[in-house]
Chain A
Amino acid sequence: MEKDAGDQEQIIEWYDMYSLSLFKYILKMIHDAQQAEDLLQDTFIKAYTYLMRGKDVDYPKTFLYRTAHNLTIDHIRKHKPIRMIKDFFNNREDPGPSVEDVIEIQESSQELFDALYSLKANYRQVIILRRVEEFSVKDTAEILGWTESKVKSTLFRGLQKLEEKLQKGDVGDGQS
């Protein structure tokens, strides 16, 4: 019981430290504020069950990002067809709070926010981790489960794509 309480305190402490940046990372990945909150919650519950199994976490930030990344990628894979159908009909039964209700994005950054989302997931996640969250190549590789060289090469190509999109003003949903 004491260990459970200790694990819970640890998770709450991590939540207070990293939840904001984790939420923004997930949000940039999926562009759905409500879903981002759900995935953020799942991230901390998964971290809690990890601690409950008696495992240690040396680098909590990297650990939490890796957990959030895995959950987000799983979500994208599972919900991509559904999202396309929803977009097609544009008719959510229970839309919940809109992005605007939950978050606010400065107009100056909206174009970049949308441009990032229009990139392929690989480019998007590596750019966010390296350039927005400013993780090192090593940590980014650990979070994504890639080699460091893949991180560098994918980042290079991703930034080129992003620059092209911003110059062309092509920030539609077509991900490339």
Chain B
Amino acid sequence: MDNHNKMDEQLRNLDKDIQWSPRGQQRVRRRVIHNMNQTTHPLRSLFKKWLIPTFSILLFAAIITTLVLSEVTDQKIADDSGQNGQHSTHIVSGDDQENASDENDNNDQNHSKPDHSTQHRHNNNGGEKPATNESNKTDSAQSDDTESQKQTLTQDDILAVVKRQMDTDLNISLPSTLPLNDGNHLTATTSSDATSYNVTFYEHTEPIPINNKLLFSDKNPAHVIARLRVQQYDNQAKADEAIGHEIFSESGGKEVDLGPGTTGYQDGAAGSLFTSWNVGRWALSVKTSTNNSETGLAYARKTVQYLNEKALPIPKPHGFAHLDPENNSTRIKWQKGKTVYTIDQTNDPDTSLTIAVQFK
């Protein structure tokens, strides 16, 4: 009985003789609180542990993929513009209107006051100016890094690619050579639809692929040589109206001698002097300021002489050349029935004439 009571006493005091370290008690307390928080916010815990890292990895992969695809796309554009000659219209047909706007912007920037010294462009016409095209790096035309990727292309090669870039029902006619400054490379932007096509020719010291997005950007380093626009109208009357043919002997004005067998007529209006003449089915008019009447006459005579050697295309029925040696508003238009060809945006009328005489 004594033993029994003693054992009961020992049992009652047993817990007093067992000591659990306060550190252990606090450790478990912290673990309980931590686990309660995880139990309360399992989604938050899951989010922190898995979703954020997973999403970050996926986002990173998406960015890398986008960059790679962008590079591949640029490469394809460049390749399509190059020698393989595969038909590519994804840039051309994409935003014609926008591209046209860009072209206008670029042209405004690129045009400067014409200079008669640009006659040297004519001198380059006959040669097969080597042109190059690059296969990569759309915005690094001036980068040395791309040198190894350049391919040497002739103007014929480039013009052939330009043709393939356009999708139209019209028969595409292009000049065979463009007058380039020494060392410059030819490139172009194109747009087209069933009844029209536009080509803006550029030159630059470094090769730039045809329809490269750099040519549509504000940082376009290339200079416009000329723009060719070909538009088929619904009927002959609209095409005739677009040409606006004139017979200057009927309009009157002061007669001037422009060379053997060619009589011109000078007529002034609002500070401008027009020296105009007709040859065949063509009407030509040189615009100068009234203060420079001799300049206009001299340029008209030089043009008559030039056209005795190089023939303008035969229009059906008419063509009109508005030549402006003092400003860059030169336009040469001719029609082939309902289709009207226009050369404009040149830096000087010599360039326009040089291109126009290459058409039949």
Contacts and interface: CB of A to CB of B under 8 A. Distances in A.
Interface string A74-88: 000000000000000
Contact of B39 (A12, A49, A97, A103): A49
Residue of A40, A133, A167 with most partner-chain B CB within 10 A: A40
B194 interface: no
Nearest to B35: A45
A133 B14 CA distance: 10
A19 B39 contact: no
Nearest to A101: B21
A131 interface: yes
B267 to A, nearest CB: 90
The dominant DSSP class at the B interface is helix
Interface string B179-213: 00000000000000000000000000000000000
Contact of B40 (A8, A23, A28, A132): A8
Interface in B11-49: 11-15, 17-21, 24-25, 27-29, 31-33, 35-37, 39-40
Given A19-B29, A41-B31, A131-B11, A108 B39 contact: no
Interface stretch (B2-10, B112-120, B140-148): B2-10
B12 A23 contact: no
Given A109-B17, A163-B3, A132 B12 contact: yes
The dominant DSSP class at the A interface is helix
A52 to B, nearest CB: 7
Contacts of A52: 39-40
Contacts of B4: 159, 163
Contacts of A4: 40
A15 B32 contact: yes
A166 interface: yes
B36 A8 contact: yes
A34 to B, nearest CB: 9
Closest 5 interchain pairs by CB? Answer: A106-B17, A109-B17, A131-B11, A104-B19, A44-B32
Interface of A: 4, 7-8, 11-12, 15-16, 19-21, 23-24, 27-28, 33, 37, 40-41, 44-45, 48-49, 52, 97, 101-106, 108-109, 112-113, 116, 127, 131-134, 159, 162-163, 166-167
Interface of B: 3-4, 7-8, 10-15, 17-21, 24-25, 27-29, 31-33, 35-37, 39-40
7 contacts: A4-B40, A8-B40, A28-B14, A37-B28, A102-B20, A106-B18, A109-B17
